[in-house]
Amino acid sequence: FEVAHSGTLFIDEIGELTPALQPKLLRVLEDGSFRRIGSHLERRVNVRVIAATNRNLADEVAAGRFREDLYYRLNVLSIKLPPLRDRVGDVKQIVGHFLGDHWELEPEAMEALVNYHWPGNVRQLINAVDRATVLAEDGVITIDDLPSEVVKCVPISSSQNGSPCVLRNAADDIDLASVERAHIISILRKTKGNKAKAARLLGIHRRKLYRLLERFSIDPNFDESSLADE
């Protein structure tokens, strides 16, 4: 609060605030006063507070887990934000804001991000994009850099099962996937399991080879004997 004096303080997951801390927060909100830990000196601040939660605080109050007076003190203006699956138009804006001008996102990858239903909402989206930036090569994010659950999701009518997408039938891609998998295994046999040599022969970065091993369920720690059954 002291650092946020004359500004705005955002408190995420306010519903997780412990019973011991709730009266302390209420006091600051009511009269703007607080004490530092171990200090007897009263300090005053002028802070605008914005709080967020994925819980129903009215239900938490009824259950005795959240103070009623704190609830009404916080509930000056309430904004209910729909889940990300109900505002797919925001996905491109969120991704664009997160990536800035430092990364390029291939259209196929963006389409996969837009089509996914994001049960974990914005946090899950940001984590997926953050993961992609770690795996991407030369500043270009491809669909191979995205989590498998996002890649396998295809759009359907939102009226079906309440979800805008379902997992793609594996049979849709089985022929191409089988060819790719067999080719990678063939190269690994040729290099006796040496991933660096295999990546060079495939013309890809070693990080991408590891992603393909994961994608096709090929053990990255195998040796020639473990390939015998492939």
Residues of the chain with CATH 1.10.8.60: 85-168
Please check whether residue 103 is in contact with residue 133, taking contact to mean a CB–CB distance below 8 angstroms: yes
- What per-residue confidence (pLDDT) applies to 8? 94
Q: Is the CB of residue 70 less than 8 Å from the CB of residue 25?
A: yes
Q: Which residues contact 14 (CB under 8 A, 6 or more apart)?
A: 51, 52, 53, 57, 74
Which parts of 18-99 fold into alpha helices (H)? 22-31, 57-62, 68-74, 89-99
pLDDT per position as a tens digit, 16-52: 999 999 999 999 999 998 888 888 888 898 999 999 9
Question: Is 161 a residue whose pLDDT tops 50?
Answer: no
Asked if residue 113 has pLDDT above 80, the reply is yes
Range from 102-106, 145-149, 190-194, 219-223 carrying the lowest mean pLDDT = 219-223
Query: Does the pLDDT of residue 159 top 50, yes or no?
Result: no
Task: Reply yes or no on whether the pLDDT at 164 is more than 70.
Answer: no
CA nearest neighbour of 114 among 138, 96, 137 = 96
User: Which residues of the chain are in CATH 1.10.10 domains?
Assistant: 174-227
Write the pLDDT tens digit of every residue in 115-139: 999 999 999 999 999 988 888 877 8
Q: What is the CATH number of domain 85-168?
A: 1.10.8.60
Give me the pLDDT at residue 160, please: 44
**Residues spanned by CATH 3.40.50.300 within the chain?**
8-74
pLDDT in tens, 89-100: 999 999 999 998
CATH of 8-74 among 3.20.20.30, 3.30.70.20, 3.40.50.300, 1.20.5.510: 3.40.50.300
Asked if residue 60 has pLDDT above 50, the reply is: yes
The correct CATH number of 174-227 out of 1.10.10, 1.10.287, 2.60.120, 1.20.1070 is 1.10.10
pTM for this model (two decimals): 0.60
pLDDT score for 65:
95
